[in-house]
Structure 1
Amino acid sequence: MALLLFSLLAAPAAAQQHPAALTLPEVIALALDQSAVARQAQTTRDQGYWQWRTYQATYRPQLGVQGTLPGFSRVITPVVQPDGTTDFRAVRINNSNLALTLSQNLGLTGGQVVVASEVQRFDDFNGRLRRYNNQPLALGLTQPIGRFNELRWNRRLEPLRYQESQRQYVEEREIIMQRITELYFDVVQQQVNAEVAGQNVQANEELLRIGQERYRLGRLSQSDLLRLELNLLTARQAVAQSQLDAQDAALRLQRYTGLRPADAPLAVPEAAPAPPVLPATALDQARQNRAAVLAFRRRLLEAEREVALARGTTGFQATLTANLGYVNQASNLWETYAALQNQQQVRLTFALPVVDWGRQKSILKTAELTRRQVQADVAQEEAAFEADVQVQAAQLGTLARQLALAARADTLARRRYDIAQATYKVGRISLTDLTLALGEKDQARRAYIQALRAAWVGHYRLRALTLYDFERQQPLTE
């Protein structure tokens, strides 16, 4: 990129019409397609999508097979005898099992329902014994009581996280576009500096030639001749410095966007779009589209979740487990299906702290204070968020007017310099007046590029703050 910029700097006028020159939209499109920051934003979005898929799968039936095949064991193991003594016996057994389970989480209560079928086979090779234990059908329920219901809170939080990740992706792309615009104009600014410096070198060379002729004729003082030589040296120094600055700016743009060196030079953009935007309208769109709005809600819910977690992990806690089904055992697998027997199991386990020296109260109080702090932080950030959107929308029209004024000043300054240069050549104004006109021309050109940069950056910044395209009147999230 830097080598092509050098060729651009050597012929600035031709470079503006060079067919290979890239425009700002083209650079943005290329960077969004191939830059590392764009790929990182896409990866983050994809991670949010797969986390959402994981959440959805949690609420769907889970079918699984589990077992132990084989469970062979050949060891010497201690065996308690009827008289209470221990004898060591050599055993050679196989204890295998295979189970098919279908489970479903209950988001409303935080419990789980399981339907299972299991068969177990036991072989005693030393005793030539084989037994089957078959449970063709079993229905089980596990229900926490007084515990934290993570499934219920995930149902409230995960949709927000997913929507936030998708909106965040769009917002990050807009922020990337804003940053590319800033880097793009860094290069353009140096191109313009180089163009101005190159034109000044040519003009000062011509003025020095005329001044030397006048000095030989005694119509120019030595002081003015030296001033002309100094102006030429200053212009040449400006060319060298602008080349270095252009190289640095081009490398920064290249590193951020991933553009190849052949992607330069860059064209000076037209004026940025400046549709009329009311601050209230911009704020409405920001509230509808921005990921930050969802993030505020998510953070408040997470703070509430921590309070519920503190309550659900302290105090009274219990778990109800119930199972019913059919079971039978026999020496032959098919015989286990005859004369099946009913099987029921009900169990309630609980824990209740009696004396905890204020532990439960401390945990709950900490969570509540954290929630209060989060609420205060969110309120403050929300106010700052609204102020940023409204200020940026209000500034958009001002930036457009400043750009129009800077463009007019640039045109007038160039015309004034052309007139001053022609007037100096016929000896009707002083060198000081010409130098002032030259400085005003250069300053006006740089001011125009800076105003153009501010207008384009403001355009993309408002898009990033609202996720809305006011030029096409449509949300960017679509």
Structure 2
Amino acid sequence: MNRFYVICFFLGLWSVQTGFAQTQQKYTLQQIISLAKKESQVSLQANNRKENLYWQYRTFLSNYKPQLSLTGTLPNYNKSIERITLPTGEDSFVPRGVVNTDVNLELRQSIGLTGGEVFINTNLARIDLIGDQTGTSFLSTPISIGFRQPIFGFNQLKWDKKIEPLKYDESRKAFSEDMERIAVQSTDLFFNLLVAQITLRISELNKANNDTIYKIAQGRYNVGKIAENELLQLQLNSMQSDQQVTQAKLDIETSQLSLKIFLGNNENLKDIQLLAPPTIPDLTIDESLALSEAKKNRARYVQFRRQKIEAERDIARARGNSGLNVNLFGSYGFTQNAQDFNNVYRDPQNQQRLQIGFQIPILDWGRQKSTIQTAVANNKLVQSTVAQNELNFEQEIILKVKQFKIFRSRLIIAQKADDIAQRRYDIAQKRYLIAKINITDLNIALQDKDNAKRGYLEALRRFWKNYYEIRQLTLYDFEKNEPIRY
């Protein structure tokens, strides 16, 4: 009779397990991460930020290249009564009608070293009188070369040349960090669903086992082999299994929906089935390597350098905008006027201009000094804040690397514990069916098996999440031994 019960039990177990072997498309952790990097909304946002910052950098580069522009007025019509000075020296109000037309072509080049500008231009202007007195006149400037140069002032171009390349480098590395952050988020969502799916399989298997054992126990109870309380305990186990299956199905729906939304709600992902990472990688991470790669690859360290330079720039701006400011303008060219277009370019005359403007603060009640000292104090604050942030960041990396070693060790132990607990439960099942142990021992073995499986899955989650967090913090692939670039 006992042999018959055992055969029935394993036939039931086989039927449940074959139900799990349905043909479905299954995804690994790496495949889910790859999908998220390509199709998730977070990935699209990261790409948009990258593109935005790229064009900002292109705008900065254009500031140091020649700029060619064409400006003009076509036309400017004015008919009004205006005040004019007569040849006798008297003023009089007379009606006038004037049409002004002009066009100017200018090529200018900024000078980053000095903050000034050189230019070359040519222009042509025409005036048409309308009314009682009519006439046309032209004014030409065939060529004019000049410069504009602030002296003692703040040179924005010089500082932009130091800061903007750092911003662009920071944005490129930040994009790589965004991609690795997606990997961390994907890992969390992956294991949420994986745990739910495995929990459902365990719950359904436990339910099948409990139902089969309960049916066998009914037969044994009827012949007086077991007590009623043991039968009731088995019935309770079967009912609890039903609740666990229902809860596991709900957890799967919730976790699957969260993962689908994160992956961009792809219509092809109707029923996501996941595969647990099969092996534990034989991988060690050196703390010194992680730190050195983080300093080379992370946007945070570029940000630290940029913040220091920006603080120094603010001091230079405060000093440059205080005290004596001088603006120098000069040009040399040719000009001519005529009553008709054919003569306006004949025998041009020299045109020379020189202008020196200055501003000297005399009384400002300490405003300029306060502005400078504020910038100096802010620079000290930035220096100390950056130094502290560097220490915090290094500590975070060291802690993550130490955790990686611990999590890997725990994962190996959890994997062995899961295997041992499963084997122990299998033995306990067989021994219970031949009445070698009681129901209490069987329940303990069942609980230990389920707890060991949950512990293994949690250890697996922590290991892989920690690994991808280290990748994000260092932008270094420790499996391929190369920096991460996107």
Please name the residue that 1:225 is paired with: 231
Identify which of 405, 412, 418 aligns with 2:420.
412
1:459 is matched with which residue?
A: 467
Structure 1 residues 441-469: Cα deviation after superposition (integer angstroms, max 9, x where no partner): 00111111111111111221111111111
Q: Give % identity.
A: 35
Change in Cα spacing, 1:310 to 1:17, as seen in structure 2 (3 Å) is farther
Alignment-mate amino acid for residue 241 of structure 1: Q
The Cα offsets for residues 29-80 of structure 1, whole Å up to 9 and x where unpaired, read as: 2221111100110111111211111111100000111110112223333445
CA contact (8 A) 2:332 2:350 kept: yes
Mapped partners of 1:299, 1:236: distance in 2: 60
What residue is the counterpart of 1:7 in the other structure? Answer: none
Counterpart amino acid of residue 482 in structure 2: Q
**Aligned residue identity for 2:257:** L
- Quote the residue 1:401 is aligned against: 409
Measured against aligned partners, the alpha-carbon deviations of 1:326-380 in whole angstroms (never above 9, x if no partner) come to 1111112231222211111111111111111110111111111111111111111
CA contact (8 A) 2:72 2:104 kept: yes
Q: How far 1:206 moved relative to its partner?
A: 1.0
Give me the whole-angstrom Cα distance separating, in 2, the residues matched to 1:66 and 1:15.
Answer: 75
Query: Equivalent of 1:26, from 23, 27, 31?
Result: 31
Alignment check: 8 A CA contact 1:272 1:455 kept: no
2:446 is aligned with 1:425: no
Q: Distance in 2 between matches of 1:12 and 1:131?
A: 100
* Counterpart AA for 1:91: R
Q: What's 1:102 paired with?
A: 107
For 2:186, the aligned partner's letter is: I
- Provide the rounded CA distance (Å) in 2 between the counterparts of 1:192 and 1:331: 94
| Contact persistence 1:12–1:194 (CA under 8 A) | no
Q: Secondary structure at the match of 2:100?
A: strand
- Residue 419 and residue 12 in structure 1: after superposition, are their counterparts in 2 closer, same or farther (change >3 A)? closer
Task: Check if 1:445 corresponds to 2:453.
Answer: yes
The verdict on how the C-alpha distance between 1:239 and 1:337 changes in structure 2, with shifts beyond 3 A counting, is same
Of the three residues 179, 185, 210, the one matched with 1:179 is 185
Match of 2:195 in 1: 189
Q: 2:285 aligns with which of 277, 286, 298?
A: 277
CA RMSD of aligned residues (A): 1.8
Question: Given that residues 315 and 352 in structure 1 are in contact (C-alpha distance below 8 angstroms), is that contact kept between their aligned partners in structure 2?
Answer: yes
1:303 and 1:74 mapped to 2: Cα distance? 55
Task: Note the C-alpha offset of 1:309.
Answer: 1.4
By how many angstroms is 1:83 displaced? 6.2
Alignment of 1:186-335 (within 5 A): 186-258=192-264, 259-260=266-267, 261-262=269-270, 264-335=272-343
Q: How far apart, CA to CA, are the structure 1 residues paired with 2:459 and 2:151?
A: 65
Alignment CA distance shift 1:32-1:111 (3 Å):
same
Structure 1 residue 249 displacement after superposition:
1.1
Give secondary structure in 1 for the equivalent of 2:277: coil
| 1:145 aligned residue | 151
Residue equivalent to 2:173 = 167
Q: Residue 426 of structure 1 aligns to which amino acid in structure 2? A: I
Structure 2: gaps spanning 5 or more residues: 1-14
Q: Distance in 2 between matches of 1:370 and 1:15?
A: 64
Deviation of residue 108 (structure 1)? 0.3
Partner residue, 1:66: 71
Q: What SS is found at the alignment partner of 2:25?
A: coil
Query: Residues of 2 paired with 1:18 and 1:378: CA distance?
Result: 55
Partner residue, 2:349: 341
Normalising by structure 1, we get a TM-score of: 0.94
Displacement of 1:273: 3.3
Amino acid at match of 1:136: P
Give the partner amino acid of 1:120: A
- Which residue in 1 is equivalent to 2:43? 38
The residue identity in structure 1 corresponding to 2:196 is: Q
Distance 2:240 2:314 in 1: 67
Instruction: Give deviations 1:124-168, integer Å, cap 9, x for gaps.
Output: 122221111110110111101121111000000011011110111
- Return closer, same or farther for 1:448/1:122 CA change in 2, 3 Å cut-off: same
> What is the CA-CA distance between 1:271 and the residue it aligns to?
3.1
In structure 2, what is the Cα distance between the partners aligned to 1:462 and 1:223? 53
Q: Tell me, in whole angstroms, the C-alpha distance in 1 between the residues paired with 2:377 and 2:95.
A: 63
Cα deviation, residue 169, structure 1: 0.5
Deviation per CA, 1:171-230, whole angstroms, max 9, x where unpaired? 110010111011000000111111111111001101111221222222222221211111
Aligned to 1:376: 384
Q: 2-side partners of 1:463 and 1:49: how far apart?
A: 24
| 8 Å contact from structure 1 (residues 317, 352) kept in 2 | yes
Q: Distance in 1 between matches of 2:206 and 2:368?
A: 79
Q: Aligned in 2, Cα 1:398/1:31: closer, same or farther, shift over 3 Å?
A: same
Partners of 1:454 and 1:284 lie apart in 2 by: 24
> How far does the alpha carbon of each residue in 1:402-446 deviate from its partner, in whole angstroms, 9 at most, with x for none?
211111111110110010011011111111110000000001111
**AA partner of residue 159 (structure 1):** P
Match of 2:3 in 1: none
Residues 333 and 351, structure 2, Cα contact 8 Å, conserved in 1 = yes
Please give the TM-score of this superposition, normalised by the length of structure 2. 0.93
On the 8 A contact 2:16/2:208 being kept in 1, the answer is no
> Which deviates more from structure 2 when the two are superposed, residues 105-114 or residues 47-56?
47-56
**Separation in structure 2 between the aligned mates of residue 475 and residue 248 of structure 1, nearest angstrom:** 36
**Cα distance change on mapping 1:12 and 1:245 into 2, 3 Å:** farther
The verdict on how the C-alpha distance between 1:416 and 1:383 changes in structure 2, with shifts beyond 3 A counting, is: same
Instruction: Decide whether aligned partners of structure 1 residues 162 and 272 sit closer, same or farther in structure 2, where only a CA change above 3 A counts.
Output: farther
The CA distance in 2 between the partners of 1:133 and 1:234, in whole Å, is: 99
Q: Which residue of 2 aligns with 1:76?
A: 81
Three-state SS of the structure 1 residue aligned to 2:27 is coil
Closer, same or farther: CA 463–425 of 1 in aligned 2, 3 Å:
same
CA distance in 2: counterparts of 1:227 and 1:107, whole angstroms: 85
